[in-house]
Amino acid sequence: MELPFALLLFLVLIPLLSGLLLPLLAGNDPEKIKTFTLGITVINFFMSLLLLVGYDFSNSAEYGLVFNTEWFSSLGLTFSFGVDSISIWLILLTTFLMPIVILGSYSAVTERVREFYIWLLLLEAAMIGVFVSTNVIFFYICFEFTLIPMYFLIGIYGSSDRLKAARVFFLYTFTGSMLTFAGIIYMAWCNVAAGGMWDFSFAALSTAHQNMSDSQQLWVMLAMLAGFAVKVPIFPVHTWLPLAHTEAPTSGSVVLAGVLLKLGTYALIRIAIPMLPKAALAVAPMMGVAAIIGIVYAALICWRQKDIKKLVAYSSVSHLGFCVLGMFAINVQGLSGSVMYMINHGLSTGALFLLIGMVYERYHTREMAQLNGLAKVMPIWASFMVFFAMASVGLPGLNGFVGEFLTLLGSFNSILMGPVYAAIAGTGLIFGAIYILYMVGKVVWGPLKLPDGHDDHASGGAPGGHHVTDLNRREIAVLIPLAVACLWLGLYPNCMLKTLDAPSQAIVDRVGIEGHEQPIRPMLHHVQNTLQTHPAQLTVLDDTPSTDIATAQLPGVHQ
Amino acid sequence: MSELYVKIMEIRPEIIMLIGACCCLMVGLHRSAEIRKLTVAVAVLTLVFAGFYNAWQTLDSDHPWTLASFTKMAVCVVGVLLLSFASGLPDKLKMSRDAESHPEKFDPGNVMRGEFYAFFLFSLTGVMLCGGANDLVWLFLALELTSLPTYVMVATGRDNIKANESGIKYFFLGALAAAIFLYGFALIYGATGVTNFDQIRECIAVTGVTPLFTLGIVLSIVGIGFKIAAFPMHFYTADVYEGAPTPVTAFLAFVPKTAGFVSLILVLTLTSKTNFRMGNPEELQIYISLPNTVQAVLWVMAALTMTIGNVMGLMQTNVKRILAYSSVAHSGYMLVGLLGISSCVAGVTSTNGAAGVMFYLIAYALGNMAAFAVLACLERNGDEATDLDDLAGLSARKPMLAALMLLANLSLIGLPPMVGFAGKIYMFSAAVNAGFVGLVIIAVVNSAISAVYYLRIVNACYFKKADASQTELVPTRNRVMVALAGAVLAVYLGLAGNELARITNQATIANLFNGKIVRQVLQDYPQAMGGEQTAWNIEKNNP
């Protein structure tokens, strides 16, 4: 099936225009606004399904449905669209989550309803814009624009400490990405200095590294990381995330965990790694270490949390550590595992946030100390909770497993990292299982304990307390698609994995490192290689025994 | 045709403005109250007429846009918006209300109307003259014509003690600054013996840049720094902006700044040297360079100006003072762009920092004007309400005004896709090209700092509950229209500003490059990069 390139344009424009024109299109009636927004996002979802069905994945290392139009042509800026299989899956994730978020927030938002849906629609447009753009500045614009809707979603609809959370979220991410902005301009200038034109397209900037010295690449890489690592977030710049997540309304948390964090990882995989290959190789071990610290450290923090939402928020930091670990392994398994992980984390963590939101709407608390044994009063909720907790932990057969396994395999086989990295990161899995099961064990099982005012629920509601019921049909309808997606991707991950091979391979080729079939090396050999690749570390690790080991040159590193 | 005749033909829009200003003076003092009320209309008509005349003059002839014609156009367009913002200001003053309360007992001594609009036009005329200056004396007179009326306008609200204070401060410091840059001009004259720009350039080409000449340039830059509110001449900004009536504050943030930056571009072109080099691939590039001393002075000024502006902005609770310090900070960004003219390559738009500055001036004016116009809709007990708390709950009370405030602030932060972002790309690209990567990093970090106080404004509008304070909303039609125009244009130019980027490049290029050298280079290398277009521009503008 031949897809029109305008499909991408529509994917961005439909939510954008319906968001801006919502007051005209849907009036002021909350019910009408909700239905209208839901309709728009569902339409968008089906349109993106067309992408999945009709896109020719056989050639997926190249961009498809390419479309360029003038913008600031004299400054090298164009509106350029295009997708490959990585972006198609992320677009699908976005359009799939949006109707769910909207349906899930039907009862949560009672004030300033219209504004809420306007921001959500604009957010959707910006997020899809990030995934379809093939010009760095256009990419950056959408990337930055996501801040505004999220700022308002947290600031207006969040819980008690929302103002601080909104401000911290905005300033933290904005500061980082301003440095990225400087890096982007510098990268484009490197092309100009070599006699090229000012051009910010992906294609032009992909060749910029040929005109950059190693140290220039490293500096630009650091500038990129300043913006993107904050967004992911990678340890130690993750501190905005728990606050933002905890204070955000449920829908905000779902979008934040589901898609917004993926903007950071997507930017790393799309811009930072392929466009700065040497720097990517140079920082890979360090990023691996940061990712591992993030995995273990955040997992340990989760264990100590008393607030369920905060626990899930910190678990995002831990999970995205796997994502970063896989991508900086720079081999096919790691990269495709990383993309896979982005999708899976979006689904399972999004679902967990929704579930927590549902409990919060009923009991107005998220304290584990006050909520015990909910399986007795909310059996349907409890089943979903257990299901998604398992998906999040990475139970084989559910979606979380595949990505986790692949990223670990990738780092294990990577000549940049190695078994030790994988082994330490693997402990994160165990901690992950511990804290999630600990939480599920307390909240779902065990003796029934409800917050004050709900205590005598068992007797059918009491004066002063709300009558708490199990999930209603709408809420079940929200969770079912997520559960189906988790199960489908868990049982049949190949439908996604096989499309990710080609783009991953393209990135590996670009960085210039063999990704396939790396022999599992002894640790020493690995250290030796690392030292060869990164003489800068030599001073630190100089006393490592290294004389008797043959040192293989990394192809592409010393070119 | 004598030289005088050519000059006079060039400044026809300015002559129209002067005639209009004089008419305003007379109409404003007419015996009949009905006719007196028409003063605004006279002023607006004058501006519109001058603008159209200038546009016709530029587009009809085969002259491309020049710095002069572009400045005139920008001043006329933004001037109309500023004027509609300021309209009604003199009528609201207590003393003019008293003076006009009895139709029989008209007291001309206490009515500000005629003077206010006339000064408004005089000041704009000064900026327009700056753009076309090709002589130090002319430039000095034009700059003073810009500033003198503003001293009076700042003190328009004579009932208010703060207005008097800021008027006096502004006048004395302005006079000091004028003395400094006049001293600089005198030194330039002393070093070269001529005041005409072309002759100065010729003289410098022969003698090289002498220390005396450099000192003259540096003093001129520092003195003109007053007009743009740059370090070390920025101290007056917050007090004067706070004391002046809001429409005048908006005026101050655009008009003297434009005059200042246009003059800075002109002064810098005196020292710039046109060079050529072989690019890679084999293509001859014509580019300009600035002396190191001048670069160093501008570097320090830019870095300190934006940092001081933003850090001081963080400490304010009064929106006008916040915007005043943000005005200082924006001057800092524009100085970064101005540095970008060293190593500006002919024919490569992104390297033209001067064009970036002109573009950013428009971008800044739009966002700033919208923010001030929304602010002017707030009153408390008949006075301006300018505290952050006064904005609380604006989104609930007037969603439209809050949305405009939001757009204005986003543009000022430089968040895409607003025009502020496009302007920053333009200026910072040029600065990176000129090798000022460190300064650009300081600038982007500063942009991040500035987000804090802009967000405070947005915060107040959207997240704070309106308390039962006495803040009244008086959204007059003019002010809402001005805010709307500013915000909509800020979005529009952010998305479709390519034409403006092209025009600014065309307008500045002829001033930046030395026509003689370009022509000479082109004779030997006709295929030089962008040379033909530059030569064409220079040829057309220096017939």
- Which helix (H) or strand (E) segment is B378 a member of? strand B378-380
- pLDDT recorded at residue B468: 62
Shortest distance between the Cα of A168 and any Cα of chain B, in A, equals 10
Burial class (CB in 10 A: 0-12, 13-18, 19+), A341: buried
- What is the b/e burial string over B198-227, where b = at least 16 CB atoms within 10 angstroms of the residue's CB? eebbebbeeeebeeebbbbbbbbbbbbbbb
Residues A314/A318/A321/A326 CA torsion (nearest 10 deg) = -140
- On whether any CB of chain B is under 8 Å from the CB of A484, the answer is no
- pLDDT recorded at residue A10: 87
Among candidate residues A352, A324, A340, the one with its CA nearest the CA of residue A406: A340
Amino acid type, B3: E
Rounded distance between C-alpha atoms, residue A333 and residue A504, angstroms:
8
Shortest distance between the Cα of A52 and any Cα of chain B, in A, equals 29
- On whether any CB of chain A is under 8 Å from the CB of B437, the answer is yes
Interface of B with A in 291-310 (CB under 8 A): none
- Please list every residue in chain B whose beta carbon sits closer than 8 Å to the beta carbon of residue A162: 463
Rounded distance between C-alpha atoms, residue B119 and residue B205, angstroms:
40
Shortest distance between the Cα of B388 and any Cα of chain A, in A, equals 15
Contact call for A140 and B441, based on CB within 8 A? no
- Please list every residue in chain A whose beta carbon sits closer than 8 Å to the beta carbon of residue B350: 74-76, 192, 198
Query: Does residue B254 contact residue B368 with C-beta atoms inside 8 Å?
Result: yes
- On whether any CB of chain A is under 8 Å from the CB of B278, the answer is no
Rounded distance between C-alpha atoms, residue A277 and residue A558, angstroms:
12
- On whether any CB of chain A is under 8 Å from the CB of B218, the answer is no
Contact call for A171 and B448, based on CB within 8 A? yes
Rounded distance between C-alpha atoms, residue B345 and residue B365, angstroms:
27
Query: Does residue A119 contact residue A78 with C-beta atoms inside 8 Å?
Result: no
Contact call for B455 and A167, based on CB within 8 A? yes
Rounded distance between C-alpha atoms, residue B25 and residue B64, angstroms:
35
Interface of B with A in 397-426 (CB under 8 A): 410, 413, 415-417, 421-422, 424-426
Strand partners, A307: A367
Rounded distance between C-alpha atoms, residue B218 and residue B209, angstroms:
12
B274 Cβ neighbours under 8 A, 6+ residues apart: B286, B287, B288, B513, B514, B517, B518
Query: Does residue B371 contact residue B242 with C-beta atoms inside 8 Å?
Result: no
And the tokens for A236? 């130690």
Rounded distance between C-alpha atoms, residue A391 and residue A396, angstroms:
8
A407 Cβ neighbours under 8 A, 6+ residues apart: A322, A323, A325, A326, A329, A333, A334, A337, A338, A341, A425
Kindly report each contact of residues B194-203 with a partner whose C-beta sits within 8 Å and lies 24 or more positions away, as own/partner: B195/B135, B195/B136, B195/B137, B196/B134, B196/B135, B197/B133, B197/B134, B197/B135, B197/B136, B197/B266, B197/B269, B197/B270, B198/B134, B200/B136, B200/B270, B201/B269, B201/B270, B201/B514
Report strand pairing: A64-72 vs A77-83.
antiparallel
User: What pTM, to 2 d.p., does this model score?
Assistant: 0.83
Rounded distance between C-alpha atoms, residue B310 and residue A137, angstroms:
25
And the tokens for B62? 């085969």
Nearest to A156 among B351, B429, B463 (CB): B463
Shortest distance between the Cα of B123 and any Cα of chain A, in A, equals 33
Q: How many other CB atoms are there within 10 angstroms of residue B357's CB atom?
A: 30
Contact call for A137 and B425, based on CB within 8 A? yes
Shortest distance between the Cα of B71 and any Cα of chain A, in A, equals 21
Shortest distance between the Cα of A206 and any Cα of chain B, in A, equals 18
- Boundaries of every domain in chain B: 272-541
Q: How many CB pairs below 8 Å do chains A and B form together?
A: 111
> Which residue in chain B has the smallest CA separation from A75?
B350
Residues in chain B with pLDDT < 70?
A: 1, 95, 99-110, 158, 279-282, 468-470, 527-543
- pLDDT recorded at residue B325: 93
Rg (CA), chain B: 23
Residues B491/B494/B496/B502 CA torsion (nearest 10 deg) = 140
- pLDDT recorded at residue A552: 41
Report strand pairing: B378-380 vs B471-473.
antiparallel
Amino acid type, A255: V
Tens place of pLDDT for every residue, chain A, 559 residues?
567 778 888 888 888 888 888 888 877 788 888 888 889 999 999 988 888 888 877 766 677 777 877 777 777 778 888 888 888 889 999 999 999 988 888 888 888 888 888 889 999 999 999 999 888 888 888 898 888 889 888 888 888 888 888 888 888 888 888 889 889 888 888 887 777 777 888 888 888 888 888 888 899 999 999 989 998 888 888 888 888 888 888 888 899 888 999 999 999 998 888 888 888 888 888 889 999 999 999 999 888 888 888 898 899 899 999 999 999 988 888 888 999 899 999 999 999 999 998 888 888 888 888 888 888 888 888 889 999 998 888 888 888 888 888 888 888 888 888 888 888 888 888 888 889 888 888 888 888 877 776 554 444 444 444 556 788 888 888 899 999 998 888 888 888 888 888 888 888 888 876 433 444 434 434 544 554 454 444 333 344 444 333 444 444 444 3
What is the side-by-side order of every strand in the sheet holding B383-384? B383-384, B378-380, B471-473
Among candidate residues A287, A95, A248, the one with its CA nearest the CA of residue A170: A248
* Complex ipTM more than 0.85, yes or no: no
- pLDDT recorded at residue A96: 92
And the tokens for B154? 């700042």
Instruction: Phi first, then psi: give them for residue A449, nearest 5 degrees.
Output: -145, 125
Nearest to B348 among A140, A156, A198 (CB): A198
Query: Does residue B258 contact residue B333 with C-beta atoms inside 8 Å?
Result: no
Among candidate residues A300, A106, A307, A271, the one with its CA nearest the CA of residue A184: A271
- Please list every residue in chain B whose beta carbon sits closer than 8 Å to the beta carbon of residue A197: 348
- On whether any CB of chain A is under 8 Å from the CB of B495, the answer is yes
- Please list every residue in chain B whose beta carbon sits closer than 8 Å to the beta carbon of residue A188: 429
Q: What is the largest CA-CA distance in chain A?
A: 80
- pLDDT recorded at residue B251: 92
- pLDDT recorded at residue A515: 39
- pLDDT recorded at residue A453: 63
- On whether any CB of chain B is under 8 Å from the CB of A73, the answer is yes
- Please list every residue in chain A whose beta carbon sits closer than 8 Å to the beta carbon of residue B452: 167, 171
And the tokens for B179? 């003395």
And the tokens for B464? 């704070």
C-alpha dihedral sign at B18, B23, B28, B34: negative
Three-state DSSP state, A459: helix
Contact call for B445 and A186, based on CB within 8 A? no
B179 Cβ neighbours under 8 A, 6+ residues apart: B223
Q: How far is CA A412 from the centre of its chain?
A: 22
Contact call for A197 and B348, based on CB within 8 A? yes
And the tokens for A416? 């940049």
And the tokens for A101? 């978020």
Among candidate residues B222, B209, B199, the one with its CA nearest the CA of residue B273: B209
Contact call for B448 and A175, based on CB within 8 A? yes
> How would you classify residue A65: left for phi > 0, otherwise alpha for psi between -120 and 50, otherwise beta?
left
Mutation for B interface: A119, A162, A185, A237, most B CBs within 10 A: A185
Rounded distance between C-alpha atoms, residue B525 and residue B543, angstroms:
22
C-alpha dihedral sign at B58, B62, B68, B71: positive
Rounded distance between C-alpha atoms, residue A271 and residue A370, angstroms:
45
